[in-house]
Every structure is written in C-alpha cells, then in structure tokens.
Structure 1
Amino acid sequence: MDVLIERCCGLDVHSDNVVACLMVKRKTPIIRSFGTMTSDLKSLRDWLAAEQVTHVAMESTGVYWKPVYNVLEDTLDITLGNAREIKNLPGRKTDVEDAQWIANLLRHGLIRPSFIAPRDIRDLRDLTRYRRKLVQSVSSERCRVQKILEDANIKLTEVVSDLFGVTGQGLLNAILDGEVITPKDLDRLVKGKLRPKIPVLAEAINGNLREHHRFLLRSFLSRLDSLDQQIAVVERRIADLVKPYERLLELLDTIPGVDRIVAIEILAEVGADMSVFPSERHISSWAGVSPGNESSNKKQKKNRTVDGNVYLKSILCEAAWAATRTHNTYLSQKYYQMRARKGGKKAIMVVAHKILIAAYHILRDLEPYKELGSDYLRERFHRQTERRYVHELEAAGYVVIRPPQASVSPMT
C-alpha cells in the first residue's frame, strides 16, 4: 500500500497521558509518552516540530482530545478520527499498539476526518448548548412548582393557563404571604381574560398550604429567577458572537419554523462553511436525520435514522413541529402527507430532514428559502399520475396525442 504521508504521528489520548507514535518512511517507529498538562502538551508540540512532523491523528475520545487539539491546531494538520471506524483488531489493545495503528492508518490516508468547527463556532456552540440546558432547567423548576401546588390542594393550573405570567406570578406571591385569599383580593390581582373566572379562582387558590410547601415554593421561584438572569447573560454573550453572521441568520430565518434562536443554534452546530460537507446527503447523515440503509440477501431491513449529532437533531425536530403549524407552506403539507402514511413521529423526522437540506443550500448558496407552496405536492402527484397513465397507454399500443399547452385538471 502506498505511503501518502512521510512524516506523521499517531496519538492515543487518555485523561492523564498521551502516547505518541512517530512514523517516518523506512524507519522504525518512535514511541514517546507525554502528560496532559499544558506544559506537557507544549513539549509534545515542540518534539513534533523538531521531528518535522506535518500530520497528526487521534481518536475522538470523549473530551480528552480537546486539550491536545487546542495546543496543536495552529501548527499541525490534525485528523480527528471516529473511534468506531479506526478501532484496532481484537487482541491488540495496548496504548502503544493503538498509537501505532492510528499512525499507520494516517500515513496511508485511511482515516476519514471528523468535522471540527472553527474556534469561534465552537465557542458559539458551547454557549447555545449551555443555554438549552438552562431552558430545560427552567422547565423542570416550573414542573416542580406545579407539583407542590397540587400537593397543597391548590388547583391554579386548572384555571390559569400560564401560571408564570403576570397574573400567575402575582397569585404565587400572594400564596407565599400565607394569607387566605378572598375574591376581593383576587379582584386586585387578576388581570385581563381571567377576571370572569374570579369565583372559580377563589376556590382553586385556597387549599391546604403548609409551611413546608411555602419553603419549597420559595426555593423553586428563587431558582427560576436565577435561571432567567443567567439565560439573559448567556444570550447577551451569544448576541456578541453572532454579529459577524447576521446575514446568514437572516437567510436561515426565512425557513418556516425557524426563528432567530433556532437559526443561531443551527449555525452553531454546522458552522458557516458548507464546503466541509460534500453534499446534502453528507450533512444529513452527519446530523442523524437521514434514513439508514440496512439490507442483506436482497432484503431491505429496518431503515431507522442513523446516529448523529443529537443536539442538532433535537433542534431540527423542534423547528419541524413549528413548521407544521404554518399555513400554506410546503413543509406543513409534507408533514400531513407523511403522517397519513408513516405516522406522526416519522413525519416529523422527514420535515426535520427537509429543513436541514434547506439550511445547507441557504448557507452554501447564500440565497433565501424559496417557498414551493402547499399545492406543490398535489400538483406533482397529478403530473406523476399523468405520466404513469400515458406510459401504460403507450405500452398497450395506444397513441396519446396531447392538445397544445394542455393543463392537468385536478383529480377528485
């Protein structure tokens, strides 16, 4: 097998040490071990530079590869390989042999590099993922508030649709004061469309509230305030980082179901440079929204979606749910068409796949989303039906003559 890289190095990365295997054409491999402190990694970098190494490869082992990558990325061509794809043969599992195996694969060009976003995109990704975790924590705390109210025989959730709106917050604060709330008090607290429900609210808000419930309720509400403040801080930081990408965000925002937050999250996951993905099929497979392909003995087995970027997949599914609620759009019509055939869950994955394909072409071509309309699928079905009927008639020996500029009438 031809050697493509003359001076390369394979790294077997662990939490506390890095085993390096230096391979030079026609020479015995050189094995060295380094620590993972910053000074040790700088020593690794200096050693590789002294040996005139041009390419380095390592496994994507948890988060342990990141410190190594941060030190070496400015001076070397680094290939990050999927651990499942470059696994060594059974019975040869040692750190030294792993490093030699990685170096040998690298020198022959047999490692498919994983996608590593630029540094500013990686920073943005950390923030968007952290914001998502904070939002999930807010949802958890709100569920705890509702749970403790139910435990105290307070049925606010049966009357108030938004327990954490202006009126809901006022009612929760009144509950914490420890007084019996009368209809007169509610007349002062309740605003808007809830005012006709004051008699029902008076029954729902007075339950069996003990000091234990008030303590937990204060803790939950305090935690919610803290989370809201932290989310605001993170969003300000995100706003600073996305300023160079405002044009891309505006273009992504033209996709039905995609708002500014979702556009930022998509940009943070896939980056702004689409040249790293050769086609829409590659990015769909990387994201985990494309159907799998499993066949044996000419039999098609399960075609469940492949494993991929779980963060991006969840973002796309949220955007797909929002797209199904839009009116007169191709994506909403596609959802209802697929739901009738495959069910709701598979239909949502199909729409998520379509949104990612649209985002890929928007980021690659720098053009806004082109809406096909809700009639596109129906008209395409009519055209396909017409072609099929014409083909069957011609196969049976008939000659089909179409009038000039004939239009296909809608089928009932």
Structure 2
Amino acid sequence: MDVIEERCGGADLGKTDVKVCIRVPGTGKRARYEVRTFSTMNDGLLELRDWLVENRIARIGMEATASYWKPLFYLLEATEGIEPWLLNARHIKTVPGRKTDVKDCQWICKLVEHGLVRPSFVPPRDIRQLRDLTRYRTETVRDQARDVNRLAMFLEDTGIKLSSVVTDITGRSARAMLDALVAGERDPQRLASLALGSLQGKVPRLTRALAGDFNGHHAFMIASMLRAIDEADNPISRLSEEIDRQLQPLRQQVDLLITIPGISLTLAQVLIAEIGFDMSRFATAGHLASWAGVCPGNKE
C-alpha cells in the first residue's frame, strides 16, 4: 500500500498508561517503527510530547476511549507541528486479531501511515467549554425531572391522586397543596381550596384526589423530594447565565438559529455547543447529518 504519512504515530490509551508506536523513515526505503510506554500523568504526557517532537512526528492517531484521550489530545493540539487525530473505535476494530495494547497502537500507526482512517470532529476549545456547560445543564434538568417523577410515584404510596387531576405537580397550586400536606394539613377540602386559576373549576375532583393515608413518614419524604427539586433550580440558573455569557460573541448566530421554526433559545445554544459555528468542517449537509446521527437508516 502507498505510504501517505512518513512520520506518524498511533497511541492506545488506558487509565494509567499509553502505548505509542511511531513510524519514521529508516535506512534505504525501509521504515523504522518504535514502541514506547508512557504514564498518563502530566509528566508522562509531556515526556511523550517531547519524544514526538524529537522524532518530528507530524500526525498521530488515537482511539476515542472513554475520556482518557482528552489530556493527550489537548496537549498535542497545542503543540506546533503535531496534528492529533481522534479515531472512531468502531472503524479501528473492524479487523480482528489484536489482543494487546502494543498491537493496537501499532495497528493505529499503520492505519494513519497508509491513510486508511479519517479523524473525528473535535470542536475548538471555546466550543468544547460551551458543550461542557450545555451537557451538564441537560443532565441537571433530567435529574430534576427524575425527582419530579419520583415525587409523583411516591404520592401514589399515600393514596393521593394529585397527578391524575393536575398536569404539573410542581406548579403553584399543586405546590401549595403539597406544602400544606407537609405542614400537617389533612382536610381534602381545605387542601383543594388552595387551587388557583383554571384549577378552581376542578375543586370537587381535587377534593377526591387529595383524600388519602398521608402520615408523618410521607411528609418527611415529600419534603425531602421538594427540597431536592428546588435546589436544582439554582445550578440550572447559574449554568444558563454562564452559557449566555460565553455565547455573547456568537449572539448573531444564535439569533439566526432561533428564527427557524421549532428552534428555541435553549436548543440554539445546544446546537452551537455540539456542532460549533464553522460549517466548513463538514463537506456537505449530508456529512453533518451523519455526524449528528440523524441520517435515515438504509435497511435494504
């Protein structure tokens, strides 16, 4: 096969060490391969970088293994003359037979040498930081939603069917009723009288739904769940403020995205955090759709 990269390398990363194979020109037309093991501690990665620079390695591929690739990738990304490639693990493992880390790094080096792999999209630092914020916000919102669902399920244990009448059990009316239950109120009619707005027309149903076997244990559990739901609001707000601050230089792109029907401000923030704003990284719209995982399946 043709040699595309004369000075290249392959790295197989683990939690504690990284095996690296480099390919450099040897005597005559033969190539020289060398394998070394480095620690994944910061001093080990710096030693690895210096070794690559010393051997004038222009490109090195590494498998996307958990988050272990990130420190090495970011270090080499900031090193002049070295282009790190993050490779899809599924593409690398299509050929069976390699059972050791050393063989893996040698195989990755061979793939880069002959141009048989393409790098995965890794956004620039500012977009990566924004992605960290939006993904953490999404997880925090999901955690809060799980707490709300947990609260609704626990109410079933008390015989109270509030969620059968109220759409949002954390809304103003439902929250007032739950707070009253925790405080010691047990009269269904008094609890139902706390309804506000359109729920006032459902007082008879609410009275029936709020009749149950609610005791002190239930009050403690409900209070704990409500506290967890409330406490999640603060980090979500702080994350949203930081996301908005970091997106100020890209405000024009955000404003353009939200003009698309169905794209909210939150979704626009997530889109920029996931794909960035430089569409030249994707050859066609189809490549972008494929990377995002929204291409229709072809089962024929």
TM-score by length of 2: 0.92
Query: Partner of 1:276 in structure 2?
Result: 281
Residues 1:91 and 1:216: Cα distance change in structure 2 (over 3 Å)? same
Q: Distance in 2 between matches of 1:102 and 1:221?
A: 51
Q: Paired residues, what number?
A: 294
Matches within 5 A, 1:132-171: 132-171=138-177
Give 1:18's aligned amino acid. Answer: V
SS at match of 1:29: strand
> Within the alignment, does 1:130 sit opposite 2:140 as a pair?
no
Deviations 1:243-301 (A, max 9, x none): 1111111111111111000111111111111111100111111122112335xxxxxx2
Decide whether the 8 Å contact of 1:60 with 1:81 is kept in 2.
yes
Q: Distance in 1 between matches of 2:170 and 2:99?
A: 55
Query: Partner of 2:19 in structure 1?
Result: 19
> Within the alignment, does 1:106 sit opposite 2:112 as a pair?
yes
RMSD: 1.8
Residues 1:243 and 1:266: Cα distance change in structure 2 (over 3 Å)? same
Q: Distance in 1 between matches of 2:279 and 2:95?
A: 34
Q: CA deviation at 1:175?
A: 0.6
* Structure of higher CA gyration radius: 1
Deviations 1:222-244 (A, max 9, x none): 11011111211111111111111
Q: Distance in 2 between matches of 1:104 and 1:185?
A: 72
Query: Partner of 1:63 in structure 2?
Result: 67
Query: Partner of 1:2 in structure 2?
Result: 2
Query: Partner of 2:207 in structure 1?
Result: 202
Decide whether the 8 Å contact of 2:24 with 2:55 is kept in 1.
no
> Within the alignment, does 1:292 sit opposite 2:297 as a pair?
yes
Which range is displaced more, 191-200 or 112-121? 191-200
Query: Partner of 1:264 in structure 2?
Result: 269
> Within the alignment, does 1:43 sit opposite 2:31 as a pair?
no
> Within the alignment, does 1:87 sit opposite 2:93 as a pair?
yes
Q: Distance in 2 between matches of 1:218 and 1:185?
A: 16
Q: CA deviation at 1:119?
A: 1.0
Decide whether the 8 Å contact of 2:22 with 2:109 is kept in 1.
yes
SS at match of 2:91: coil
Query: Partner of 2:121 in structure 1?
Result: 115
Q: 5+ residue gaps in structure 2?
A: none
The one of the two structures with greater contact order (alpha-carbon pairs below 8 A, sep at least 6) is 2
Residues 1:275 and 1:197: Cα distance change in structure 2 (over 3 Å)? same
TM-score by length of 1: 0.68
Deviations 1:40-91 (A, max 9, x none): 1011111111222221111111211111112111112111111221237433
Give 1:44's aligned amino acid. Answer: L
Decide whether the 8 Å contact of 1:58 with 1:81 is kept in 2.
yes
Give 2:109's aligned amino acid. Answer: A
Q: Distance in 2 between matches of 1:49 and 1:168?
A: 64
Residues 1:163 and 1:4: Cα distance change in structure 2 (over 3 Å)? same
SS at match of 2:236: helix
Decide whether the 8 Å contact of 2:185 with 2:191 is kept in 1.
no
Q: Distance in 1 between matches of 2:99 and 2:250?
A: 45
Decide whether the 8 Å contact of 2:191 with 2:207 is kept in 1.
no
Q: Distance in 2 between matches of 1:185 and 1:155?
A: 13
> Within the alignment, does 1:218 sit opposite 2:223 as a pair?
yes
Residues 1:198 and 1:34: Cα distance change in structure 2 (over 3 Å)? same
Query: Partner of 1:405 in structure 2?
Result: none
Query: Partner of 1:72 in structure 2?
Result: 76
Q: Distance in 2 between matches of 1:274 and 1:185?
A: 56
Q: Distance in 1 between matches of 2:61 and 2:195?
A: 64
Q: CA deviation at 1:159?
A: 2.7
Q: CA deviation at 1:115?
A: 0.6
Give 2:228's aligned amino acid. Answer: R
Q: Distance in 1 between matches of 2:254 and 2:9?
A: 39
Decide whether the 8 Å contact of 2:133 with 2:239 is kept in 1.
yes
Residues 1:281 and 1:28: Cα distance change in structure 2 (over 3 Å)? same
Q: 5+ residue gaps in structure 1?
A: 295-300, 302-412
Matches within 5 A, 1:361-372: none
Q: CA deviation at 1:208?
A: 0.8
Q: Distance in 1 between matches of 2:190 and 2:155?
A: 22
Q: CA deviation at 1:142?
A: 1.1
Q: Distance in 1 between matches of 2:21 and 2:247?
A: 40
Decide whether the 8 Å contact of 2:12 with 2:19 is kept in 1.
yes
